[in-house]
């Protein structure tokens, strides 16, 4: 099984540009999450979803949007990229036991 | 939001030594998870704990769910160079109804061969 797959792995954006980070999982997990990781700061939750059609904000949702039209996919949208959004983004999924499985990450630089 | 205090921030040890790290909170947690992250990769789950006092092993790794439910410990015995990485604790404190984990800031482990 592929587990959690994120694309792209790397991206450079100019200030004000928009992009979508893709995430798909093949474990039939209901719960999916987006985290950002900044050096020395651990993982901060951006948005999460408990099932198709249901999303909710995490700790740091400003500047981001998500949708969950299927169980498998949970894309993260950046509408107006800002330098503060330079980070490594991780998508994860879990069952009810919350044992989250992570993708390999997307390293985003906004210049 | 909830905070997890993870210590130490970093450790430099010799191959063969044992390692201990811990995670504490001012709130009670119902689930504790320990992850390892290697450079350029996502975190990988090492051990999951669901009951106060629970002690669980995974090879050379042993983790415990503190009896007060406000802390957890991870021990690595006889460290080897491939143990290098960042170790994160994560906890959930709402009985599963919020479906969210809170992460510590990590312990960076370096093992000198």
Residues B28-53: pLDDT tens digits? 999 999 999 999 899 999 999 999 99
Average pLDDT over residues B62-85: 96
pLDDT at residue B95, as a whole number:
59
Three-state secondary-structure class, residue B76: strand
Residue with tokens 């894309």: A75
Average pLDDT of B78-99? 86
Q: Does A34 touch chain B (CB under 8 A)?
A: no
By the 8 A CB rule, do B37 and B44 touch? yes
B59-68 long-range Cβ contacts below 8 angstroms, 24+ apart: B61/B34, B63/B32, B63/B34, B65/B32, B68/B28
| Averaged pLDDT for residues A88-102 | 91
**H/E element, A90:** strand A87-94
Are the Cβ atoms of A102 and B99 closer than 8 angstroms? no
Model pLDDT, residue B98 = 66
Across the range B98-108, mean pLDDT stands at 87
* Segments of chain B assigned E as strands: 5-7, 10-14, 19-24, 31-37, 44-49, 55-58, 61-65, 71-76, 85-92, 102-103, 107-112
More confident residue, B3 or B52: B52
pLDDT higher than 80, residue B72: yes
Cβ of B99 within 8 Å of Cβ of A50? The answer is yes
Q: What is the pLDDT of residue A20?
A: 97
* Residues of chain A positioned with their CB less than 8 A from the CB of B1: 59
**pLDDT, position B96:** 56
pLDDT above 70: residue B2: no
């Amino acid at each position: 099984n592929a587990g959690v797959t994120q694309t792209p792995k790397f991206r450079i954006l100019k200030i004000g540009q928009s992009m979508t980070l893709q995430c798909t999982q093949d474990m039939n997990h209901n719960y999916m999450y987006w985290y950002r990781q900044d050096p020395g700061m651990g993982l901060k939750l951006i948005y999460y979803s408990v099932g198709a059609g249901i999303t909710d904000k995490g700790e740091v949702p400003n500047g981001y949007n998500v949708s969950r039209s299927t169980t498998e996919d949970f894309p993260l949208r950046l509408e107006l990229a800002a330098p503060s959004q330079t980070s490594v983004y991780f998508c994860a999924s879990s069952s009810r036991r919350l044992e989250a499985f992570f993708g390999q990450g997307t390293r985003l630089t906004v210049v | 939001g909830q905070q997890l205090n993870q210590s130490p921030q970093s450790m430099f040890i010799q191959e063969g030594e044992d390692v201990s790290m811990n995670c504490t909170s001012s709130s009670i947690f119902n689930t504790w998870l320990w992850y390892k992250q290697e450079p350029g990769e996502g975190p990988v789950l090492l051990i999951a704990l669901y009951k106060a006092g629970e002690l669980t092993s995974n090879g050379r790794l042993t983790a415990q769910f503190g009896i007060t439910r406000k802390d957890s410990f991870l021990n690595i015995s006889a460290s080897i160079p491939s143990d290098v990485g960042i170790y994160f604790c994560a906890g959930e404190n709402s009985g599963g109804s919020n479906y969210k984990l809170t992460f510590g800031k990590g312990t960076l482990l370096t093992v000198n061969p």
